[in-house]
Amino acid sequence: MLVRSIRLAPRRFQGLCAYSTTTDNPIPANDPKGRHPRSPIGTTNAMPTSSEGSFDKALQENPEDGEKMRVMQAPNKSGVWSRSQQPRERAMVGPRFEQTIMEDQPRPLSAMELIHQQPVRWTKNKVVSCDGGGGPLGHPRIFINTDKPQIASCTYCGVPYANNRHRKHLESLPSTPFPLEPTNAAGALPPSHLISGGAKTGSTEPYQSNTGKPLEQR
């Protein structure tokens, strides 16, 4: 019986093999050399490659331009804006991004920069409320104090507010984080999306809609 169990033992452990895999972003160890992931951008991207009719043009990209797009977190912001955000230069590494045209990859604009294109909402009240314009894409109502001589923004969506009593003081400042008057910036909310009358949400911020009609999703 003992001899039989000894013979069967090797068969049981035949399927137990040690496997080792490597990742693009391994957990950092006590390595004095400080190894960093290698950039997947290579000189082969500069050679034109046929796209077989998908864009009707050859796939080609300058390696320097591709590396700049890979490193920047967003087209309008270079670094991260949240502690929980993974830097783009550390995320887009490894063989799956080799020979990849970075210009064709999704690169949405940073809302942290777009919100600073919104003009200040002037008010006569000491306390205003904001719900993001209401509708399906709104947010819970936030109350904001405007009694201090500064621009107070909504802590949920970032829309700026200020009191008319402090207008001269704010205009005398060399620079402000938000424009004091409406501008034609691409990130600013178009006036046609604001409803002057009709639907109301109960907050200071007017109701917003794509077509200017109430009860429609923006």
- Over the stretch 162-203, which tens digit does the pLDDT of each residue have? 999 999 999 999 999 999 998 888 777 776 666 655 566 667
The pLDDT of residue 218 is: 40
According to the model, what pLDDT value does residue 63 have? 83
Does 29 reside within a domain? Answer: no
Among 108, 142, 165, the domain-final residue is: 108
Host domain of residue 98: 59-108
Residue 135 lies in a domain: yes
Confidence label for 144 from pLDDT (cuts 50, 70 and 90): very high
Given a cut of 80, whether residue 27 has pLDDT beyond it is no
Residue 53 has pLDDT above 60, yes or no: no
* 128, 160 Cβ separation under 8 angstroms: no
Answer yes or no: is 24 within a domain.
no
Whether 147 and 96 share a structural domain? no
Beta carbons of 97 and 40 less than 8 angstroms apart: yes
% of residues, the chain, pLDDT over 70: 65
pTM for the full predicted model = 0.61
The span from the CA of 179 to the CA of 116, in Å, is 8
d(CA 208, CA 218): 7
Q: Are residues 124 and 185 located together in one domain of the fold?
A: yes
Q: Is the pLDDT of residue 112 over 70?
A: yes
Q: Which of 126, 158, 162 is nearest to 139 (CA)?
A: 158
Model confidence pLDDT, tens digit, residues 90-110: 888 888 888 888 888 888 888
Total number of domains constituting the chain: 2
Q: Is residue 182 part of a domain?
A: yes
Is 200 part of a structural domain of the chain?
Answer: no
CA distance 48 to 50: 7
Return the CATH number at 163. 2.60.260.40
Average pLDDT score over residue span 130-152: 86
